[in-house]
């Protein structure tokens, strides 16, 4: 299940135009990376829940590269059911089988088959109904809810306050239907409050301890930073191969750490473009390439004033303070 029904409040006004899971990362919809992760793991059915701008979200889902994966949309346009209620509504799609749960609004490199193997191991040993993928430390300076782990048994002991540089849940899990089935159907519910905490109390939540790249894209400055990190990763060859393939299928390099969408004209005057910039025509196929761009400027479409250190999309520009 791919969770894509959030309101994207922190990313407004960008999400007034496009639901957050379908905002682009170097011209690739964010949800595409999560879908790629699932298809590479052999998943053949993905349920995607939607709420905010349901018509736009549906169009964006069907525009994704689905490969041989079947997609079902769980429509919450009338009532937003929350992170637990949304899963409960979609539960009939999974029958009595455990399923992967992924957030569509983060970018994570996690080994899903290894996560599943760990879940089944802990299920046999302790009867776990949920296994969380846990990384040892969140990226600075972000604060994320600490996951306390019994490292000897591999069980989650508790969830703590938001802190820096502590183990945290990366938004990928395996869930047994029994962890969700007793929730009221078609009623809002929270995954942490209504599912995780009761299961932790019963010692039925496992931890798959791993490490990898993870980017939160939930705020404008984080969306900007994710672009910068992906561009730098392409430059120095440090991205996971699947991310690299997906990004290079949509983009090309036109200068040192200067990248453009393949939708851009083949001939571009980048004389006044500076290192660390990115441009895509966005949804405006006839968008005029900017004369001046950068440094550290991410721009989709046209802008009357593409300034440095920021991200522009549609009619909105967001400046990012240089640290």
Q: What is the pLDDT of residues 16-71, one digit of tens each?
A: 878 888 999 999 999 999 999 999 999 999 999 988 888 888 998 999 999 889 99
Q: Please give the tally of structural domains in the chain.
A: 2
- Mean pLDDT within 162-176: 91
Instruction: Tell me the residue length of the chain.
Output: 323
Q: Residue 153 has what DSSP assignment?
A: T
Q: Of 171, 297, 226, 293, which is closest to residue 234 (Cα–Cα)? A: 226
Quick one: 167 and 44 in the same domain? yes
**By CB neighbour count within 10 A (0-12 exposed, 13-18 middle, 19+ buried), where does 293 fall?**
buried
Q: Same domain, yes or no, for 80 and 196?
A: yes
Same domain? 181 vs 287: no
pLDDT digit string, tens, across residues 290-323: 888 878 999 998 765 556 789 988 778 888 877 5
The DSSP secondary structure of 206-259, one letter per residue, reads: EEEE----EEE-SSHHHHHHHHHHHHHHHHHT-S-HHHHHHHHTTEEEEETTEE
Are 15 and 131 contained in the same domain?
yes
- Which residues, including other chains, have CB under 8 Å from residue 230's CB and lie 6 or more apart? 25, 26, 239, 243, 247
What is the structure's pLDDT at 34?
A: 94
- How far is the CA of 32 from the CAs of 23, 112, 227, in angstroms? 10, 16, 15
Check whether residue 272 and residue 306 sit in a common domain. yes
Same domain? 202 vs 224: no
Least confident of 26-30, 107-111, 164-168, 206-210: 164-168
66 shares its domain with 7: yes
* Cis peptide preceding 88, ω within 30 of 0: no
User: What are the tokens at 189?
Assistant: 């519910």
3-state secondary structure of 162: strand
Whole-number Å distance between alpha carbons of 323 and 307: 16
State the CATH number of the domain containing residue 167. 3.90.550.10
List the alpha helices (DSSP H) in 67-210. 82-90, 112-126, 197-201
Instruction: Mark which of 216, 231, 257 sits at the end of a domain.
Output: 216
Alpha-carbon gap, residue 57 to 19, rounded angstroms: 6
Quick one: 235 and 105 in the same domain?
no
Q: Which of 167, 196, 216 is the last residue of a domain?
A: 216
* Chain centre distance of CA 50: 14
Query: Residue 137 above 80 pLDDT?
Result: yes
Mean pLDDT of 214-232: 92
Q: State residue 316's pLDDT score.
A: 83
Contacts of 177 (CB under 8 A, 6+ apart): 91, 94, 95, 96, 97, 98, 99
Q: What is the structure's pLDDT at 162?
A: 84
Q: Are residues 246 and 262 in the same domain?
A: yes
pLDDT in tens, 250-297: 999 999 999 999 999 898 988 989 899 999 998 766 678 888 887 899
Q: Has residue 189 got a pLDDT over 80?
A: yes
Q: Are residues 60 and 119 in the same domain?
A: yes
pTM over 0.85: yes
Does residue 212 share a domain with residue 74?
yes
User: Which residue, 216, 235, 253, sits at the end of a domain?
Assistant: 216
- In a shared domain, residues 210 and 141: yes
Range of the domain at 279: 220-319
Strand 258-261's sheet: what is its strand order?
Answer: 251-255, 258-261, 277-280, 297-300, 310-313, 316-319
């Amino acid at each position: 299940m791919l969770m894509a029904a959030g309101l994207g409040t922190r990313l407004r006004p960008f999400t007034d135009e496009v639901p957050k899971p379908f905002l682009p990362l170097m011209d690739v919809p964010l949800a595409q990376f999560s879908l790629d992760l699932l298809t590479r793991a052999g998943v053949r059915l993905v349920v995607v829940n939607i709420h905010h701008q349901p018509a736009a979200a549906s169009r964006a889902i069907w525009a994704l590269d689905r490969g041989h994966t079947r997609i079902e949309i769980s429509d919450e346009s009338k009532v937003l059911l929350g992170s637990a209620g949304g899963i409960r509504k979609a539960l009939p799609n999974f029958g009595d089988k455990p399923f992967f749960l992924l957030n569509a609004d983060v970018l994570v490199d996690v080994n899903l088959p290894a996560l599943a193997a760990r879940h089944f191991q802990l299920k046999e040993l302790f009867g776990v109904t949920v296994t969380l993928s846990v990384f040892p430390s969140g990226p600075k300076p972000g604060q994320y809810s600490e996951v306390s782990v019994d490292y000897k048994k591999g069980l989650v002991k508790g969830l703590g306050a938001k802190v820096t540089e502590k183990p945290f849940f990366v938004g990928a899990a395996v869930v047994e239907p029994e962890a969700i089935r007793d929730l009221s159907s078609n009623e809002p519910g929270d995954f942490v409050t209504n599912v995780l905490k009761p299961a932790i109390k019963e010692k039925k939540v496992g931890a798959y301890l791993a490490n990898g790249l993870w980017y939160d894209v939930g705020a404008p400055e984080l969306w900007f930073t994710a672009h910068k990190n992906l561009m730098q990763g392409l430059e120095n060859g440090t991205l996971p191969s699947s991310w690299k393939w997906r990004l290079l299928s949509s983009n090309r390099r036109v200068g040192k750490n200067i990248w453009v969408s393949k939708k851009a004209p083949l001939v571009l005057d980048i004389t006044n473009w500076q290192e660390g910039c990115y441009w895509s025509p966005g949804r405006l196929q006839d968008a005029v390439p900017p004369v001046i761009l950068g440094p550290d400027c991410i721009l989709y479409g046209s802008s009357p004033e593409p300034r440095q250190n920021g991200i522009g999309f549609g009619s909105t520009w967001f400046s990012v303070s240089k640290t």
